[in-house]
Structure 1
Amino acid sequence: MGNDKQKRGDIAYVIFDMDGLLNEILARYGLEMTWDMKAGLMGKVQREAAEYLFSFFPGLEDKISVDEYLKERMGMQDAQFRKVPPMRGALQLVQGLHEAGIPIALATGSTKRNFDVKTGHLPELFDKFHPEVILTADSPEVPKGRGKPHPDIYLAAARKLGRDVGHPNDATAAQEAERGRGLVFEDARPGVHAGVAAGMNVIWVPEPELLALEPGATYGAKQVLEHLSELDTTEWGLPAIRLD
């Protein structure tokens, strides 16, 4: 009780993910993507996610190939991306960290091309990230085939911020401690697994339907929030930032 707050950590740098995608093409074939399916593809790279989705619908590839599906989906998404608002509280959080001088990076499973389309209408948010610290699925620093849930993209992002984080399989005590000073924001299960595997603190902000699949699950995340606006940054040793 009182004014005592739980101290969760002393964070020195923060890495953000970007939201995954909804799909609407399946309805044409009388099919529907359930939230259980979506949960498994969120955070995966583009082709891997499509192949995972197709695995639930035997015979679908006789009607539309994975390549045709990806091409059509890209055209539909481009229009949608340009209208998507930022998650509630995201703008204040990123701007607040930037103004406080906290190193921030972005690690997304999207390709560079899709990232540019997604973010072009939100310069007030994404201009706070220096281009050098934006890691995408096709960034040269991310080994091919090592997307989330592998930790590589988060480790690469930390290194871009000048942190000596080593690798979880071969790291000194100092490098392990440096990974423990990182804070990751994720909305997808593969991304949570990636951040945890990287040895960083993960805050999971899932959509309600995703959380409802396994109530109480954390997948190793240190904190689970319904909205970013619930975050108390001071619990993590960060400056106080008002989030609406």
Structure 2
Amino acid sequence: MANLSAVFSEKERTNWLKAWLAVDIAKAGIEQFVENEAITLQASIYKIVWSSSQAPAACIGCHTANLLKCPTKNVCNKWGSQSTCNSMHDSALKQPRPCPANVCNKVHDEIVKRHRFNNPSWKNTTAQQWATNPWQVGKAYLPPDGYAGKTTVQDTDFNGIISFMMNCKHFYNRLSFLISPGNHNSPCLLTKARDIGKTVRHSSHCKVTDPDLQVIFTTLACLLSDPTCLAHDVAAKEAVRKLAELYRQ
């Protein structure tokens, strides 16, 4: 960029700034909905786990590593003849073992069942907080790296939030459209929204054309207005209003 004033004097750079703000508005509009769904997801998992346990009590002593077989793909590192894992299972406290309360291992299994690819992001999530922080359960459905320190929906980026919705089967009946229907179908709104976030964030020239800007605003507004749930969400409706106002500027 030649100088800071170009953001306001060059149309395509101004469009890029609008697109950045639009993604931020969309994130704010979807956060409460996603947080509520994470709470519902956690409750549904523990309801199943507790109904199958003799002692309906939560365990707070299991590390995530205790619940994973070694090696676990994309998590454990074993090289050559090395018999121990030097990443996830790298200490005496972080060795595979059954949950003493017979709870955490069942929560683990339920998280896997609800993952679209049966491949949760274990490095993101802390099993010791599964019973107390719903977002620790939700983070198992985020991209595989970069979210371990995120403890709330609010401090998780747009890509992470959208990935939760895409990867968790819980959202299959929370949206009116088929999530990621496959290569022979048009991308769903979640895929389009995720791609918008990536494109805006990684733009090398910080420019967006007028037609592309219209697609960005239309796509985000359509997602926030999805008739199954989001159309009735107060924060989502306010975000749609803000997007319309920003687009007119």
When normalised by structure 2's length, the TM-score is 0.27
The structure whose residues are more often strand, as a share, is: 1
Whichever of the two has the greater Rg, that structure is 2
**Bigger helix fraction:** 2
